[in-house]
Structure 1
Amino acid sequence: MKTVHVCFVWHMHQPYYTDPVGGSASMPWVRLHATKAYYDMASLLETFPSVRATFNFTPSLLRQLEEIGSGAVRDLFLEHARRPAAELTDEEKAFLIRHFFAANWATMVRPYPRYHELLVKRGLDVNGRDLERLARRFSAQELLDLQVWHNLAWFGYGTVRRYPRLAALRHKNRGFTEEEKQEVLALQQAAVRDIVPLYRRLLERGQVELTTTPFFHPIMPLVIDTDINRRARPDLPLPARFRAPDDAAAQLARAVDAHRRTFGRAPAGLWPSEGSVCPEVIPLAHRAGLRWLATDEGVLARSLEQSGRAWHRPQALYRPYRVGEAGGELTIVFRDRELSDAFGFVYHKTDPDSAADDVLRRLRTIIHDVPQERLLIAVILDGENPWEHYHDGGERFLSLLYGAFANQALDREGRIRVQASTMSDALAAGPPAEHLPMLHSGSWINQDFKIWIGHHEDNRAWDLLGHTRTRLVDLAPSLPADRAEAAWDELYAAEGSDWFWWYGDDFDTDFKHEFDRLFRTHLRNVWLHLGLTPPADLHQPISVTRHLEGDRIIQPLRLLDPALDGVVTDFFEWRGAGSIDTQPPLGAMWRADRLFTAIRFGWNREQLFLRLDPGDGMQARTGGVVVAITLQTAERTFRLTFSPAPSDPARFMLSEAIGAEVWRDIGPYHSMSRKKIFELAVPWKDLEADPGRQIRLSIVVSEHGLEIARYPHHQPAVLTVPGPEFEAGLWRV
């Protein structure tokens, strides 16, 4: 009989937001995720007792749950929520207006009429606006309702079922009292304190396996030696060499100890931070007492290629391997990337029934195509962030999926047995029979470490980390034991991957500068524990706004599919798009009229989309105006031109440069609409733009042949054609 173990591994992680010296946490994500994903995932699984799963908890998350649950740390967002609305200062009101809509608007704001009403009143984009003046438009009752909804919307189906009062408050919708607000916050604290006991109960009855990650979620290969990056990306510039294998070992040992203290037993498994592995990690994990680890299938493909073996995915992927030297071997498992990523990036876009059916279809195909009698199918992904994108938090989708396993929907009587198992149970039933002679050094993203090293911001951060560590190594032996331990703890916190995730130009967030500040805070705290004045460099931001002399360009954060109808069809259809600042350069002596109030751009895998919102200056012009959009790669230059005049046809001409200011028309395109706004699309293939290729975009407005405006103002925006890994940025806070 063919036996199939489907192993769900849900990774629960947040960076260490706490400043132990200041006794405060500046961001609310541990507390808010606790009332949603952390609670929901355990609560739902509890209703399917025959279904098994593995949950990976980072120790830095577990520490923060304890800090928040006990009230040991001040929480900046919570303090703003607790403040009586009638007593808020102008600055505190501005904070609420700026930050208390931090949720997925489509799934966590729009469904609640009052919360959505307040968002509409505030507006979608508050960058650069006078927040204090804007906040004064909100009454005390509106601000009180906002304080409540910022917390109430983050409760998931599990907590709402556990605490029925939450449903009643949601039904009330508006006009909350201060007492009701305090009730919401008290239930939030109760939910935070319930998390560890809930998972511990599931562990003790054998329904879940709980695993760990190096304590503060560092990229272990880079902590061991930043030069390991050269194995995967020899082209990247590197910082001064950072080598700290002892730190990697300490992060593992501390993780195992913390896990044992929290759950009453040591973990057997490891999800290395971001699936990042190298041969040097294996003996460290073995010495820490771990028995298995997991990473991405791309690492397996590269490892087999380095061993001189061809990559045959169905035959190679769905089995465990042994890795490491004799006497120090571990079992290694590789995630099915396509199936795992579908949970995060695909299934929230369709209905839950279709999503569950697709998972079962994929599993049937794997079972049919893979020849061996024992299969281990590893579905490993972020266990918290994806559910914000599902309209019901993923409840029906996961219920249908778990129900299919509980009802043995994939079994074939006497021929195939399929079960949802913990990873250790699956490995006990089918130990690895094959040794992997080579292990590629890489992560789950592109099988390299580029996200965390190579950009000048990344490298500066590594240099500051290395300088601080050198001083700590020199002076720690002379410190009292408690101060030395506190100093090392702060250094390990600074080694966390999340700070480096946001450095450079790979990803963007409204909180980029706060992540930068937290990284430097952890390093400054090391110096304070040493009794030294922190270097001046640690007071200077590493992240810089990516524009010159007033240009402000924001890159897209998600794939788009807007309706090209010339109107704002859906309040959220361009949410996540990139934007180009239309304000004139700071200090400019000459100002153009308001031709465009906003310029947005975005894409899906097939097309580039552009949206231009005309302002008064454009509408006042009677004729002779041409908009030219230039798209330039290293080899080719294309131009899209159209007239903004209402009397002219809504189409654009695509041309290619064949000489200096000499253009060959390719043809007119009607994938454009021009009503209240201008919307257009051009296929990537017509630009011969392959995934990963960089394109320089600029927009020039001419009137009777004279340039009257250019966007961006100083140099073109640099875009990167999206590939399959574009939405990997969902694995983030």
Structure 2
Amino acid sequence: MKTIQLCFLWHMHQPYYTDPLTGSASMPWVRLHATKAYYDMAFLLDRFPQARSTFNFTPSLLLQLEEFSAGRVRDLFLEYAQRPATDLTPTEKAFLIRHFFSANWATMVRPFPRYQELLVKRGLDVHGQDLERLAKQFSTQDFLDLQVWHNLAWFGYGSLERFPRLAELRAKNRGFTEEDKQEVLALQQTAIRQIVPMYRALQDREQIELTTTPFFHPILPLVIDSEFTRRARPDLPLPARFHAPADAEAQVRRAVEYHTHTFGRAPVGLWPSEGSVCPEVLPMVSKAGIRWLATDEGILYRSLQMAGQAWNRHYHLYQPYRVGTDAQPLSMLFRDREISDAFGFIYHKTTPESAADDVLRRIRSLAFDIPLEHGIIGVILDGENPWEHYHDGGERFLSLLFQAFEGDGLHIGQGIRVRLNTVARALETAPPSQHLDQLHSGSWINQDFKIWIGHQEDNRGWDLLQHTRARLVELTPSLPPDRARAAWDELYAAEGSDWFWWYGDDFDTDYKQEFDRLFRTHLRNVWTYAGMTPPEILNQPLVEARTPQGLDLVHQPLAFITPTLDGMASNFFEWRGAGSINPTPPLGAMWKSEGLFSAIFFGFDREHLYLRLDLDDASAPRQEQCTADLYIGSGIQQYRLSFPLSAVGTETFLLARADESGVYRDVGSYSTICRRKILELGVPFKDLEIEVGTELRLTLTVSEHGMEIGRYPHHGPATFNRPDDDFASTMWRV
């Protein structure tokens, strides 16, 4: 029987927020994620004993769970939550107003009436506001309820079932007492203490495999030698060379040691931080006892390309490979990017049933198409962040998925079945039959290291790291062993990827300055443990203070346009003066790896509205499965233009109008559309019944197999007015 192994690898990770000199952490994410994703995933696997999975815990996360369990560390958010509401100072009240709504509003605030009421009272955007003045509008009871809800909303379905008192408190909704609050915080602590034992029990009964990552989640190739950047991106400006292979070995070795201490069993698998690999990593991880590692399919594609092999996705992707030497054998698995990314970016937008059906549809299709008797499908993704976006924390979706594989696996006919398995067991069943002769140096994001190096903020960080390390190397022989160990721990923490993730302009967050401060804190601690005064430069931020700006870059049209709708950018001037929408995925904690468009333009003449989509060549195969809907309207007048993105079948688009109940009724089919190198279309304003001067709202969505995978602009529609005859002269004067 043809058997395909489906291997889920859930990556659990948090950077090291702890400042060991003060015994405190500024950020609450270890504690809050603990009562949701970390607890929920183990709880759910316990409910489905045949649902095998692989989990990856970074040691930096495990260490913080241990610190919180033992009560050695408290975070700033917890301290403010524990403070009696009657004793809060104006500054502390302002902190609560600013930070205690830090959750996904749609799934973790709005479902709870009192929490939503407090959010409305505060307002949705408090940037630039006088928070202490705003806090005066809140009563002592308001602040007490806010302290409770900020923690109560972060409990997931697993802890809610294990601790019924939480459901009672949620039902109470408002008017909490200080005793209620202490109950919530005590149950939070109890849940944190149960997490490692829960995963260890699942491991001991062979249901899950537990794997590790270099200790503080560094980009290992950059720690070995920052010049490796040039292998994928020779164009990037780099800092002075950072070359510390000994640090890379230490991060791997200590990860294995701490993992073994925590779970009672040495890991045989490794997820390199951000899937970052290079040939020099292989002997290091093999020496540490690792037997397999995983990364992204893009690395495999580039590696085969280096070896002159033509890419056949169904054949190449769904099998493991031998890497390294016969003396240091390693197996390598590569993630299916499309399925893995769908968990994080797509499925929360639809129903659990539709999401599970789509996963199973993809798996069935692959099982037929994989030309191997024992293939492996690797679904590897963040195991904590996606579930905040699911209204039930992903419980129903994952339950339906695991149910489908109960018993002897998923039988799909023609002598084919798919079974859930851990990676190590799958490799025993289907060991590598091919050797990967070349290994590309890169990460799972664009198969390079640009996120973490090359921007001036990144490079300044690497320079500070290099300077601090060089001084520590000089001082180490003269230090007592305990202080040397503490100093090196802090240096290794500063080598973590997360600080560099937020430097530069690739991503943005409200906490960007805090990540910068934490990076420099770890470096300052190196000097302090070494008995030296930290240099003044470590007190200077690497990022400028900034107010987070809107993520949707929409430029308004500046002139009339009358393009030829031939699907070609044949004339520079035909779209000159058009408006544009930034197609780049939203900045944030998660990266969407593949865009559909390189540019989006919209514009008009006196009688027509025009749209142009510059299709990204890298996503051409995916476009064949996608449809687009352009929503345009004002007030109760709402229209939808629907068309496929495929290279064929884009000869017409369908115009539909929303009736009073919001259901779209077909109006007619239009042939004013063409897709060749680009996609262009036009529609008469009169057919949209839009008068001159009317304010319009425009949104473009893209769906794959009926599920939305993209929205442009990302956070709100583009707005503009239907122009009058004076538009061109008005814009000229401006």
Read off the aligned partner of 1:266 and give its amino acid letter: A
Establish whether residue 680 from structure 1 lines up as the match of residue 676 from structure 2: no
1:467 matched to 2:485: no
Q: Which runs of 5+ in 1 are unaligned?
A: 558-575, 580-602, 611-630, 634-644, 651-664, 685-690, 692-696, 711-733
Q: TM-score, normalised by structure 1?
A: 0.78
* 1:348 aligned partner: 348
SS at match of 1:405: coil
Q: Which residue of 2 aligns with 1:431?
A: 431
Matches within 5 A, 1:610-629: none
- Could you tell me how far 1:4 is from its partner in structure 2? 1.3
Once the two structures are TM-superposed, the CA of residue 23 in structure 1 deviates from its matched residue by 1.1
Cα separation, partners in 2 of 1:578 and 1:418, compared to 1, 3 Å: closer
- Deviations, residues 52-102 of structure 1 (Å, cap 9, x unaligned): 100000000000001111110131100100111111110000000000000
How much has 1:209 moved relative to structure 2? 0.4
Distance 1:606 1:174, change over 3 A: farther
Q: Root-mean-square deviation (CA), in Å?
A: 3.4
Change (3 A) 1:417 1:178: same
Q: How far 1:244 moved relative to its partner?
A: 0.5
3-state SS in 1 of match to 2:9? strand
Distance 1:673 1:133 in 2: 44
Give 1:540-555 correspondences, 5 Å limit. 540-545=540-545, 553-555=549-551
Q: How is 1:155-234 mapped onto 2 (pairs within 5 angstroms)?
A: 155-234=155-234
CA separation of 1:101/1:672 partners in 2, compared to 1, >3 Å: closer, same or farther?
farther
Check conservation: 1:19, 1:521, Cα contact below 8 A.
yes
**C-alpha separation in 1, matches of 2:506 and 2:693:** 35
AA aligned opposite 2:697: E
Q: In 2 relative to 1, CA 677–508 (structure 1 residues): closer, same or farther, beyond 3 Å?
A: farther
Change (3 A) 1:70 1:277: same
Letter in 2 for 1:511: Y
Paired position in structure 2 for 1:324:
324
Cα separation, partners in 2 of 1:383 and 1:674, compared to 1, 3 Å = farther
Q: CA deviation at 1:414?
A: 8.2
Hey, what's the Cα distance between the residues in 2 that align with 1:577 and 1:229?
24
Q: How many residue pairs are counted as aligned between the two chains?
A: 612
After superposition, residues 356-371 of structure 1 pair within 5 angstroms as: 356-371=356-371
Residue deviations 1:160-190 (CA, integer Å, cap 9, x gap): 0000000010011111111000000000000
Partner of 1:334: 334
- Counterpart in the other structure of 2:654: none
Q: CA deviation at 1:51?
A: 1.4
Partners of 2:66 and 2:193 in 1: CA distance: 7
Aligned to 1:133: 133
Does the 8 A contact of 2:60 with 2:215 survive in 1? yes
Residue identity opposite 1:260 in structure 2: T
Deviations along 1:560-607, one digit per CA (max 9) or x if unpaired, are xxxxxxxxxxxxxxxx9989xxxxxxxxxxxxxxxxxxxxxxx99699
Q: Distance in 1 between matches of 2:599 and 2:150?
A: 35
Which residue of 2 is the match for residue 299 of structure 1?
299
Tell me, yes or no, if the aligned pair for 1:609 and 1:681 is still in contact at 8 Å: no
What's the secondary structure of 2:410's corresponding residue? coil
One-letter code of the match for 2:37? A
Give the C-alpha shift of residue 410 in structure 1.
Answer: 2.1
Does the residue aligned with 1:431 lie in a helix, a strand or coil?
A: coil
Mapped partners of 2:116, 2:193: distance in 1: 30
Q: Does 1:456 align with 2:456?
A: yes
Q: Which amino acid aligns with 1:555?
A: L
Question: Given that residues 672 and 680 in structure 1 are in contact (C-alpha distance below 8 angstroms), is that contact kept between their aligned partners in structure 2?
Answer: no
1:407 offset after TM fit, Å?
A: 4.3
TM-aligned CA deviation for residue 3 of structure 1 = 1.3
Q: Which amino acid in 2 is paired with 1:523?
A: L
Q: How far apart are residue 120 of structure 1 and its match?
A: 0.6
- Aligned with 2:236: secondary structure? coil
Matched residues in 1 for 2:118 and 2:694: separation?
25
Distance in structure 1 (CA, Å) of the matches to 2:221 and 2:52: 31
Q: Deviations over 1:111-167 (max 9, x none)?
A: 001000100111111100000000110000011100000000000000000000000
Alpha-carbon distance between aligned partners in 1 of 2:391 and 2:41, rounded to the nearest angstrom? 15
SS in 2 for 1:128: coil
Give the distance between the partners of 1:362 and 1:96, measured in 2 at CA.
44
3-state SS, counterpart of residue 4 of structure 2: strand
Q: 1:321 to 1:270 in 2, by over 3 A?
A: same
- For the 8 Å contact 1:108–1:388, the answer to whether it is kept is yes
Aligned to 1:59: 59
Superposition pairs for residues 32-181 of structure 1, below 5 Å? 32-181=32-181
Preserved contact between residue 488 and residue 526 of structure 1 (Cα < 8 Å): yes
User: Alpha carbons of 1:233 and 1:380: their partners in 2 closer, same or farther (altered >3 Å)?
Assistant: same
Q: Which amino acid aligns with 2:52?
A: R
Q: Retained in 2: the 8 A contact 1:94–1:132?
A: yes
Q: Residue 442 of structure 1 aligns with which residue? A: 442
1:411 aligned counterpart, secondary structure: strand
Instruction: Rate the CA distance shift 1:39–1:299 in 2: closer, same or farther, 3 A.
Output: same
- For residue 264 of structure 1, what is the aligned residue in structure 2? 264
Q: Deviations over 1:362-409 (max 9, x none)?
A: 001001011110011111000000000000000000000000011456
Relative distance call for 1:698 and 1:537 in structure 2 (3 A) is farther
Shift, 1:219, TM fit: 0.2
Contact 1:225–1:244 under 8 Å retained in 2: yes
Structure 2 Cα separation of the partners of residues 677 and 471 of structure 1:
62
Deviation at 1:536, TM superposition (A): 1.2
CA-CA distance at 1:683 after TM superposition: 10
Same amino acid, percent of matched pairs? 66
- 2:647 corresponds to which residue? none
Residues 553, 578 of structure 1: 8 Å contact kept: no
Alignment-mate amino acid for residue 411 of structure 2: D
* SS class of match (2:437): coil
Amino acid in the other structure paired with 2:478: S
Task: Provide the rounded CA distance (Å) in 1 between the counterparts of 2:208 and 2:27.
Answer: 29
Inter-partner Cα distance in structure 1 for 2:14 and 2:690? 42
- 2:240 corresponds to 1:240: yes
Q: Does 1:389 align with 2:389?
A: yes
Could you tell me how far 1:446 is from its partner in structure 2?
Answer: 0.7
Classify 1:678/1:127 alpha carbon distance in 2 versus 1 (closer, same or farther; 3 Å).
Answer: farther
Residue 487 of structure 1: aligned partner: 487
1-structure distance, mates of 2:426, 2:147: 46
Q: What is the letter of the counterpart of residue 223 of structure 2?
A: V
Three-state SS of the structure 2 residue aligned to 1:22 is coil
Q: Distance in 2 between matches of 1:202 and 1:256?
A: 19
Are the aligned partners of 1:282 and 1:329 in contact in 2 as well (CA < 8 Å)?
Answer: no
* Alignment pair present for 1:374 and 2:374: yes
* C-alpha distance 179-671 of structure 1, shift in aligned 2 (>3 A): farther
After superposition, the Cα gap between the structure-2 partners of 1:332 and 1:532, relative to the gap in structure 1 and judged at 3 Å, is same
From the superposition, tell whether residues 707 and 95 of structure 1 become closer, same or farther in structure 2 (CA, over 3 Å): farther
Q: Contact 2:94/2:131 (CA < 8 Å) preserved in 1? A: yes
What is residue 694 of structure 1 aligned with on the other side? none
2:375 aligned counterpart, secondary structure: strand
CA contact 1:219–1:273 (8 Å) conserved in 2: yes
Q: Which amino acid aligns with 2:169?
A: L
SS at match of 1:176: coil
Match of 1:13 in 2: 13
Alignment CA distance shift 1:509-1:88 (3 Å): same
Give the SS at the match of 1:406. Answer: coil
* Change over 3 Å in CA distance of 1:203–1:328 after alignment to 2: same
1:320-343 Cα shifts (integer Å, max 9, x gaps): 000012311210000000011111
Stretch moving more, 95-104 or 531-540: 531-540
Structure 2 portions without partners, runs of 5+ = 554-583, 588-594, 603-611, 615-633, 640-680, 703-711, 713-717
Secondary structure of 1:54's aligned partner: strand
